[in-house]
Amino acid sequence: QSHPMESNQKTSGDGLTGTQKETALRGLMQRTGYQLRQENGQRRYGGPPPGWDGPPPERGSEIFVGKLPRDLFEDELVPLCEKFGKIYEVRMMMDFNGNNRGYAFVTFSNKQEAKTAMKQLNNYEIRNGRLLGVCASVDNCRLFVGGIPKTKKHEEILCEMRKVTDGVVDVIVYPSAADKTKNRGFAFVEYESHRAAAMARRKLLPGRIQLWGHAIAVDWAEPEVEVDEDTMATVKILYVRNLMLQTTEETIEKEFNSLKPGAVERVKKIRDYAFVHFTQREDAISAMNALNGKVVDGSPIEVTLAKPVDKDSYVRYTRGTGGRGGSLLQPDYTAYTLGQVLEELCQKNNWGQPVYQLHSAIGPDQRQLFLYKITIPALATQYPNVHPFTPAKLCAAVEEAKVHAAEYTLQTLGLQTEGAADTSCATAAAVASVAFPGM
């Protein structure tokens, strides 16, 4: 039993006693009137600020500030951020020695201020030669749940998830590529808040809870990539989902050219989705409005504007660490690669959908590096000692880390992939034919 005085200090104290910066931080609090509270591994400034009335700021008002010098604190960070708007709160992640962990979350009073701060502060030189890495923080409210029986329908899955967790808003289920009457064996579950999603994840994670007598795999869903309106306003490519496997590129081109002959530049189809490139944006928009929901070869298609995959802004930090392969939200056009080979291998062996968890670290040169660990549900229970599959190499880009993890996993499973470094579609197809003759 700890001394009551100590435990009291731990919970209510501002965690400043004995820090070298104590005077500077107390000065900041006097100037602004904000409170500073220490709580499990983080220090919270504001949240809410003095005199704040009403609900917390809307989603999208929070930014992630990374690559912080370890001895930099609120007395330096707050004045810098105040220039861009009213601060609602700053959460600085702290280690046991009273240094920061290299990153903080800053919430502004609205989305616009956050966007401005993000643009201005990314690569800002905060100290000599030390550049900040700043991007949007996503308050993740969505979980990925794998291992769902393929015959279950939307309503049944929703009902079952509501039985075992609280705060479920909806479930998102995709029909299987090969058989539209079945689901793909996984669903995304949307919760009313990040907190509700985190509680649900904590409850489902130990693996004690089964759905319909099946073991399930749970993780954070990779957040949808938020692309700003300015960029989206220039897109001329449509993303078409829920196609039949046998539907050809010719058929798709014919459908999308039907409103205005010759409007389509080219079509790229991968399994049950496709990208349709238009010459003019307005033709793309009118085709989208006219054809969304249209039945093509017996399947109602979903048509949306393609989100450009910008390699720099593709990384989104979730409050929940870890991510779920983004390929389900919207694959990059070139991504028919080893990831899909691995997915098909798992499908063929009934191992369940591979679950990707994103980890990141700051390298010696202060660059952020990425690593994906892959868990394969059936193998995790059979061979816990090899799980999760963890490559030794950290990569500079998220996509690269993902491909590397898939390649490493395939190799560990004994499928030596030739020419894996060249992850072009041709290679993936060759690898696939080696790995599974008759695919």
Question: Do 117 and 141 meet the contact criterion of CB atoms below 8 Å apart?
Answer: no
Residue burial 45-77, b: 16+ Cβ < 10 Å; e: rest: bbbbbeeeeeeebeebbbbbbbbbeeebbbbbb
Closest CA to 319 of 42, 12, 13, 10: 42
Cα distances (angstroms) measured from residue 209 to each of 137, 195, 268, 320: 30, 20, 41, 21
Tokens 């291992």, residue?
147
Sign of CA dihedral 388, 178, 245, 260: negative
Residue 61 contacts by C-beta under 8 Å, 6 or more apart in sequence? 88, 107, 108, 109, 110, 111, 113, 114
E strands, 130-233, where? 130-131, 133-138, 142-146, 168-172, 186-191, 217-220
Question: Do 164 and 209 meet the contact criterion of CB atoms below 8 Å apart?
Answer: yes
pLDDT value for 80? 96
Residue 80 contacts by C-beta under 8 Å, 6 or more apart in sequence? 121, 124, 126
pLDDT value for 404? 87
pLDDT value for 276? 93
The single-letter DSSP state of residue 69 is -
Closest CA to 169 of 141, 195, 146, 129: 141
Per-residue pLDDT of the chain (439 residues; tens, 9 = 90+): 444 333 333 434 666 766 668 899 999 999 999 999 988 788 999 989 999 998 889 888 999 898 899 999 999 999 999 999 999 999 998 888 888 888 899 999 999 999 999 999 988 999 998 999 888 776 788 888 888 899 999 999 999 999 999 999 999 888 887 788 888 888 899 998 888 998 999 898 777 788 888 888 887 876 565 666 777 888 898 999 889 989 999 999 999 999 999 999 999 887 788 889 999 999 999 999 999 999 999 889 999 888 765 433 333 333 333 333 333 333 343 334 578 778 878 877 778 888 888 888 777 777 788 888 898 888 877 766 667 888 888 888 887 888 889 888 887 776 544 433 333 333 333 333 333 333 2
What DSSP string runs through 255-316?
HHHSSSTT-EEEEEEETTEEEEEESSHHHHHHHHHHHTT-EETTEE-EEEEPPP--TTTT--
Both tokens assigned to 154: 């939307």
Domains (range + CATH), the chain: 21-136 (3.30.70.330), 142-220 (3.30.70.330), 231-305 (3.30.70.330), 337-413 (3.30.160.20)
Closest CA to 60 of 219, 201, 223: 223
Q: What are the backbone angles phi and psi of residue 154, rounded to the nearest 5°?
A: -45, -55
How many other β-carbons are positioned within 10 Å of the β-carbon of residue 162?
14
pLDDT value for 18? 62
Closest CA to 47 of 17, 95, 86, 103: 86
State the number of CA atoms in the 13 A half-sphere of 214 facing the CB. Answer: 22
Closest CA to 314 of 226, 230, 228, 194: 226
Sign of CA dihedral 39, 42, 43, 47: negative
